[in-house]
A and B are shown apart, each in its own frame.
Chain A
Amino acid sequence: MSRVNYRIPLYMVILMNILGFLLIFFSNDFQVNVLYVGLGFMALFILVYTVLILCRMGDKFLIMIVSMLTTISILMLCRIDLEIGVKQIVWIALGCIVFFIAYVFYYKLRFLDKIWLLYALVGTGLFVMTLVLGKEINGSKNWIEIGGMSFQPSEFTKIIYILFLACYYSKSWESSFLKMSPTLITGLVSYAYIGFLALQRDWGTILVMFMIYMFLMYVYESKRRLLGFNILMVIVVGVLGYLTMNHIRVRVNVWLDPWADPSNTGYQITQGLYGIASGGYFGTGLGNGSLQNIPEIQNDFIFSAICVEMGVFGGAAVILLFFLLSYRCFKITINTTNAFNKVVGLGISVMFSLQTFIIIGGVINLIPLTGITVPFVSSGGSSVVASFAALGIMQAISAVEERKGEDYEGE
């Protein structure tokens, strides 16, 4: 492996943080708290990065890309509302802990490819829990409240689902169960999950999960007819959904013409587009934009906020960072020799990429808008923690490969 200077990206993250937090400091009437928050946040990443290097935990770029993304996110959130920003930093700190836990568990545990049944049951359990205890936020019933804190189980179900699929596609599970072949069970569980998500009206997550299923099937399934059948199902279900569900029809119509009803159904998307348009190429500058009209600004529409104040180039930078993250994940996946790790890696790569595409594409009106979170960037505990857990798994996969190489070289 050729030596890459991994310090340069770290310096860039630090520089971005210093400049950004100084700007917020100036625009927030010189509150010293802002500087402490910034310092704490920087210290967090320097610490994580140092541990990563010292313990030789594999790929050095994943966490760099993610720290750049979270920096942009934190700057934006602190600018919107310092309290939300601080809360988000706490979530990111928790996310980093989960990152290491996921890393250690995934690295050490050797039976993860054997427990498909457990994955299927835990996933179903989370769904049932959501349906029974769930409360509706913004038209989707996919939140559970525990001790005053909302928690969105579907963020974690995605990861469990990827692990479940990996058991099947890595061929470590070939015996039938209750006289049903693994192929059949995989299909049944997939469609059951999609059914549960439809009950919660979580269309964005349905799209992500289904695409993960399709892509894995494309790569691994030897029966090509099965792939064709599933694609046919997507078309049938899509057309039926459009014809029978007003909710979906409204989304599609708004996508085709957001200005048909800008004060009602098109409100979110048009306000978001006004924002992007008003930012221009370089944006108004951090703290100078008018963000108060953009709905859901700290969640689904954070990309619009970034475009307002950091400009279209800022938005493009975010997309490129996700592109890099996606590319890095794919690269690790391709280099992996372990069959189970390969499937998991592919699943997580596809998950990060598609989730980004679905929400950013939705906000810029490239595709119909479905409300999901931007990984690492949207505010909200479940999304951040789940994304970091997935990143931890990816990190472990890269470490397995890297350390194997070192053993071989007899280092």
Chain B
Amino acid sequence: MKENRRIIKVLIAISFLFVAMLTYLMYFNLFVADDVLDKKLESQQWETKSFQNRGKIYDRKGELVAETVSEGDVTKRAYPYGRLFSHVVGYCVRYKGTYHLEKVYNDELVAGDRNMIFQNVNVQGKDLTLTINADFQQYVYDRLNGKKGAVVALAPKTGEVLAMVSLPDFDPETVGDNMNSQEDFLYARAFNWTYPPGSTFKILTAAAAYENGMQGRIFNDTGGFVKDELKIPNAGGKAYGEISLEDGFRVSSNQVFGEVAYELGPEKMKDIAKRFGLDTTMGGDIQMKMSTVGYKDKKMFDTDCPNVGIGQGEVEVTPLHMAMICATIANDGKMMQPYLVKEVSYDGKSIGKAKAKELRQPITKECADYIGEMMVDVVENGTGTRAQISGITVAGKTGTAENSGEDHAWFVGYAPAENPQIAVAVVLENDGTSGGGAAAPIASRVINEYLENYGIK
């Protein structure tokens, strides 16, 4: 039979496969197995040694933030400041992985390469120096006082992160004991978490208004934006009557900014957001979650604009990003890339210093000055008066963001207005308070502490 002859050929082919498996298995055991076992030993030794000799992390003034210590048989990564830097430095737990800076800078922190280890050179990993001063970080941490949320402080001219606190946080030394990647405390509120920005987003809407020649325009505020079915009331339902765009910013009128955004339309709103870095990646050594304008699945209509214009709708930003936007206003319209590591050193000698990097210039200096003046007005006469510091001109913007839970309280600001040293973003998650009431005082104390004790006089 023709079929049987062919089936026998198939059987021969299959037999060949089985013989190949047997031969290879024997070959492997005779000639490859020893190499494989060597490789295993090597990689275990390398892993152990690179963990023992992993680089240290220091704060801005040289205090130890992370190091590997050996106590008897146990080698572990120690974090002298405990939780304080958990959402900056992250953790490094053997067999469980690395997180945040420990992950981003793993290649630098790991000691040398395999070959060096086997030449028995006792190489150390490289050390990192943070841009953050631990004392200032501690001060900021205490101001947040255990509340869910985040505080970010940046140096506007360079993008250095001066302090960054996210709550809830974790103990980096014990977090590996029972790891569950679903836990929400593992996500840094400052840069791995997005919130609706609320009225702080009016900074962007105002920039677009300026570019379209709307400055000085008078609106008739009747207590809220109304268009057909769409109603966006002002905070507290207040009607301001005849009011200029600038005064609308000071009192944070939703009607004024709703009308501005409606007139600008989806394209211009999306454009200004994109220029300020929404829907784009930032790069650098902070693995930021992307802030988004939303409206990905469905088209953004004219009637969506008023909500976007006041930072609601589908707009979502990270607190760090909001601090960057505020720093951009402070820095004549230039957006700097934020960074956490100032210097990489080896054996006590510097081998690389971070350089300030301009990401882009979303708006002109004139536009930035215009918005800056309005932000000063907010703190002096508007919704942000609780951010005032005597003797220092503070610029800021409040926000109270609606969401499915209690409102988020927002404040972004910078100071001194004439020569900005620090830009701050504060968000209190589901605090149910207003930005001007709860977030502004925190920002004011953080700014004051920095300028008094750490600023360049």
Measured CB to CB, the residues of A under 8 A from B are 215, 218-220, 259, 262-263, 270, 273-274, 276-278, 280-281, 312, 315-316, 319-320, 322-323, 326-327, 330, 333-334, 342, 346, 349-350, 353-354, 356-357, 360-361, 364, 366
The answer to whether A276 touches B7, judged by C-beta atoms less than 8 angstroms apart, is: no
The answer to whether A357 touches B21, judged by C-beta atoms less than 8 angstroms apart, is: yes
Judge if B25 is at the interface, Cβ distance under 8 Å. Answer: yes
Q: A274-B36, A319-B22 are in contact. Are A281 and B10 (CB under 8 A)?
A: no
Q: What A residues does B403 contact at CB under 8 A?
A: none
The answer to whether A215 touches B10, judged by C-beta atoms less than 8 angstroms apart, is: yes
- Smallest Cβ distance from A270 to chain B, in angstroms? 8
CB closest residue in chain B, given A323? B18
Judge if B74 is at the interface, Cβ distance under 8 Å. Answer: no
- Complexed CA–CA distance, A356 and B21 (Å): 10
Q: What A residues does B28 contact at CB under 8 A?
A: 273, 276-277, 312, 364
Q: What B residues does A215 contact at CB under 8 A?
A: 10
Judge if B26 is at the interface, Cβ distance under 8 Å. Answer: yes
Most buried by A among B21, B28, B39: B21
The answer to whether A277 touches B22, judged by C-beta atoms less than 8 angstroms apart, is: no
Shortest 6 CB-CB distances between A and B: which pairs?
A277-B33, A277-B36, A219-B6, A323-B18, A330-B11, A353-B14
Interface string of B394-436 (1 = CB under 8 A from A): 0000000000000000000000000000000000000000000
CB contact between A274 and one of B3, B18, B26, B40 (< 8 Å): that residue: B40
- Complexed CA–CA distance, A280 and B10 (Å): 33
- Smallest Cβ distance from A234 to chain B, in angstroms? 15
Q: A219-B3, A366-B24 are in contact. Are A276 and B33 (CB under 8 A)?
A: yes
CB contact between A262 and one of B3, B33, B43 (< 8 Å): that residue: B43
- Smallest Cβ distance from A349 to chain B, in angstroms? 8
Q: A218-B10, A273-B36, A334-B7 are in contact. Are A357 and B25 (CB under 8 A)?
A: no
Judge if B8 is at the interface, Cβ distance under 8 Å. Answer: yes
Interface string of B5-32 (1 = CB under 8 A from A): 0111011001101101110111011001
The answer to whether A333 touches B21, judged by C-beta atoms less than 8 angstroms apart, is: no
- Complexed CA–CA distance, A356 and B40 (Å): 27
- Complexed CA–CA distance, A381 and B400 (Å): 55
Q: What A residues does B11 contact at CB under 8 A?
A: 327, 330, 349
CB contact between A346 and one of B7, B37, B39, B47 (< 8 Å): that residue: B7
- Smallest Cβ distance from B8 to chain A, in angstroms? 7
Q: What A residues does B37 contact at CB under 8 A?
A: 274, 277-278
The answer to whether A218 touches B14, judged by C-beta atoms less than 8 angstroms apart, is: no
- Smallest Cβ distance from B48 to chain A, in angstroms? 13
CB closest residue in chain B, given A330? B11
The answer to whether B39 touches A312, judged by C-beta atoms less than 8 angstroms apart, is: no
The answer to whether B26 touches A312, judged by C-beta atoms less than 8 angstroms apart, is: yes
CB closest residue in chain A, given B21? A319
The answer to whether B22 touches A218, judged by C-beta atoms less than 8 angstroms apart, is: no
- Complexed CA–CA distance, A349 and B36 (Å): 35
CB closest residue in chain B, given A358? B17
CB closest residue in chain B, given A276? B28
Q: Other than A319-B21, A349-B14, give 14 A-B pairs with Cβ distance below 8 A.
A: A274-B36, A278-B40, A280-B29, A312-B26, A312-B28, A316-B22, A316-B26, A320-B22, A323-B15, A326-B18, A357-B14, A357-B21, A361-B24, A366-B20
Count chain B residues whose beta carbon lies closer than 8 angstroms to a beta carbon of A: 28
- Complexed CA–CA distance, A403 and B20 (Å): 37
* 25 A/B residue pairs, CB under 8 Å, sorted by A: A215-B10, A218-B10, A219-B10, A262-B43, A270-B40, A273-B36, A276-B29, A276-B33, A277-B32, A277-B40, A319-B21, A319-B22, A320-B18, A330-B7, A334-B7, A334-B8, A342-B7, A346-B10, A349-B14, A353-B18, A357-B17, A361-B21, A361-B24, A364-B25, A366-B24
The answer to whether A259 touches B25, judged by C-beta atoms less than 8 angstroms apart, is: no
Q: What B residues does A276 contact at CB under 8 A?
A: 25, 28-29, 33
CB closest residue in chain B, given A335? B4
Q: A219-B7, A333-B7, A334-B4 are in contact. Are A316 and B25 (CB under 8 A)?
A: yes
- Smallest Cβ distance from A19 to chain B, in angstroms? 24
Q: What A residues does B47 contact at CB under 8 A?
A: 263
Q: What A residues does B34 contact at CB under 8 A?
A: 277
- Complexed CA–CA distance, A270 and B42 (Å): 13
Interface string of B314-350 (1 = CB under 8 A from A): 0000000000000000000000000000000000000
Q: What B residues does A366 contact at CB under 8 A?
A: 20-21, 24
The answer to whether A218 touches B25, judged by C-beta atoms less than 8 angstroms apart, is: no
- Smallest Cβ distance from B384 to chain A, in angstroms? 48
The answer to whether B21 touches A220, judged by C-beta atoms less than 8 angstroms apart, is: no
The answer to whether B15 touches A259, judged by C-beta atoms less than 8 angstroms apart, is: no
Q: What A residues does B8 contact at CB under 8 A?
A: 334
- Smallest Cβ distance from A335 to chain B, in angstroms? 9
- Smallest Cβ distance from B19 to chain A, in angstroms? 8
Q: A220-B3, A364-B21 are in contact. Are A350 and B14 (CB under 8 A)?
A: yes
- Complexed CA–CA distance, A79 and B6 (Å): 43
CB closest residue in chain A, given B38? A277
- Smallest Cβ distance from A337 to chain B, in angstroms? 9
- Smallest Cβ distance from A300 to chain B, in angstroms? 15
Most buried by A among B14, B24, B40, B43: B14
- Smallest Cβ distance from B139 to chain A, in angstroms? 40
CB contact between B6 and one of A218, A320, A327 (< 8 Å): that residue: A218
